[in-house]
Structure 1
Amino acid sequence: MNLLKRFFKKIESTEEAESFLNFSSYILFLIGFLQSILFTFLLGSFRNFYMDVLLIFIFGIVVRFARSRVSVILLCIYSLIILLGTTLTWFGIAAGGGNNIFLALLLLLLSIRTAQVNFQFHRMTDTKLVWKNIWIRHLIAVGFAFILSSSFFISFIIISKFLGITEMNSLYGEIIFESFPISYIFLLLPGLPWAKKRRMYTGALIPS
């Protein structure tokens, strides 16, 4: 009951908003952890769903440290897609989705509430976007992400050639090419050196 009260409690201060967003990020980490256990030990198909788990962890990190409004919108869209896919799989209409409709519903409800509190937090702190810094931060993130993913790809090719591997497993290919968006998201986090002097918001009490 206390958990439900905390979830639906009216937010009246920035401290309460921050507390809820931190709480939400921890729940996202927990959902990702539970999914990894479910896919690995119960369904035996973690290989097919590792990206879902990874994305949930990434969203949790961004919600915890960046308070990004774009990220919570994307989280809502992602959660809705997960719920639709799980529902279709549940009723046998389609295949390839998840199997735990209750966990998918929980993720969607958490996403919607997190987005609501996130926007409320930014209204309370009267944050305003600094477009110049936003463009600079994104360009830096894209550049470094490209370098990292390219280095990863070249290193993998060299190692594979050295070990005599002639066929690339599809999983390895996915990991290589998905390293770019993953690196890009992490490089936007506010704790990095080039981010500290280029805040994307003004008026907020959070690192941006």
Structure 2
Amino acid sequence: SNPLNMAADPKESGDEEFYTRWHPDGQSIAFFSNRFDRAGYDCAVHRVGIMSLGDGTAGMMPVQEKIGNQETLAWSPDGKSLAFSSKSCGGSGINIQLYLWQVDGGEVTQLTRDEFINAGPAFSHNGRFLAYHSFRGDNSEIILLDLQSGEETNLTNNPAKDSHPTWSPDDSQIAFVTNRDGNDEIYVMDVDGGNLQNLTNHPARDFEPQWSPIP
């Protein structure tokens, strides 16, 4: 193999890049970095940016919205927008909300408005729905957000910790991680939250499920 250093940071720069996600067309990468100018972004150490394979660091484009430190992210299937989570600036406690960045126009829309920790966004392949995990006190739930109507549905509604949703290729099921059996297992459920199945059923920890593509 012949790895290429896309960011090409000098060691003394202190710059960090992580959580890379390919654009659906395979020509650019979204990521988090602390390299962008942070004037006016008092609590935003890491911001989401986009880097094309052709331009490299010269073409890096960060989100301009003045919100907090940004976390997990996902491309929409059409590649026109990015969903990401961001910590709120100021206040007490930890509050993380989901946002949608329209990449071409630069507009950022807040998707969730509550007191919970919302992260791990995953788009359905038809682009209409966003699944994510929401930490609510001592447990976390898988939430389904209809991006057209704004309606939210708690798919798991269980005292266990449910997280890291990922869609089946035909959008009929969602795989996720749960500790409802005493340790982390991979479960799958229908998009209405029904028909739960434990796929791993093993005493070891199982996490970060991924579906194989349709042949």
TM interval, shorter chain, is under 0.3
Question: Which fold has the larger relative contact order, with Cα–Cα distance below 8 Å and residues 6 or more apart in sequence?
Answer: 1
Which has the larger Rg? 1
- Structure with greater proportional helix content: 1
TM-score by length of 1: 0.24
TM-score by length of 2: 0.23
- Structure with greater proportional strand content: 2
